[in-house]
Copies of this chain bind each other. A is one copy, B any other.
């Protein structure tokens, strides 16, 4: 019982900070999305590709990239000419609202349209923390298997978009796309599913289109 109460308090503190972050973003009309995936699902390559397209589309954004240790992802994104702030969590398995608030102190929000959070590789804990984002994105990959949506349902339940990456490997792995879609919709019946390959670039345009729509809605203050 003690642990449950402690956890509730930790989440309550987090929610208080998340609210502050959300208000700050609202004031500046900046959209924030939180991308959550397993280790090695291909988040960073995806952000390299999507980031280039967003840049070419004239969208002003910042990537907050989370990792326990190392700044390898930030270095990759920086080398690709993309604006990035590294968040190191140490042995913590998720990014919380406090870390996002601190990272945003490095960002001129009044000059941005969009903040993209690349969370720590983990399907469980990051799903529990509101960090002030507008949307959570469940980012999965074909090599992880088609049953992950029902094995890690919280993430699917609270996400506003599901991305299935590595469709270029479909012919080499045992992955049943219909079953995957069925699993997603069993947990979250209305969830939009986007099929992409960060490697080939397939589907990246759909994601950029989705983001542009959401930025427009945020600027127009449509809830």
Interface presence of A120 (CB below 8 A): yes
Interface presence of A77 (CB below 8 A): no
Number of copies: 2
Task: Give CA–CA (A70, B10) in the complex, Å.
Answer: 27
Count of chain A residues near B, Cβ 8 A: 36
Contact A151 B72 (CB under 8 A): yes
Interface presence of A148 (CB below 8 A): yes
What 7 A-B pairs have minimum CB-CB distances, sorted nearest first? A40-B144, A93-B124, A143-B143, A38-B39, A40-B145, A38-B38, A93-B125
30 A-B pairs (CB sep. < 8 Å): A38-B121, A39-B144, A39-B152, A40-B141, A40-B144, A40-B145, A67-B151, A68-B153, A69-B150, A69-B151, A69-B152, A69-B153, A70-B147, A70-B151, A91-B124, A91-B128, A91-B154, A92-B124, A93-B93, A93-B124, A93-B125, A121-B123, A121-B151, A124-B125, A141-B143, A143-B166, A143-B169, A169-B172, A169-B173, A172-B172
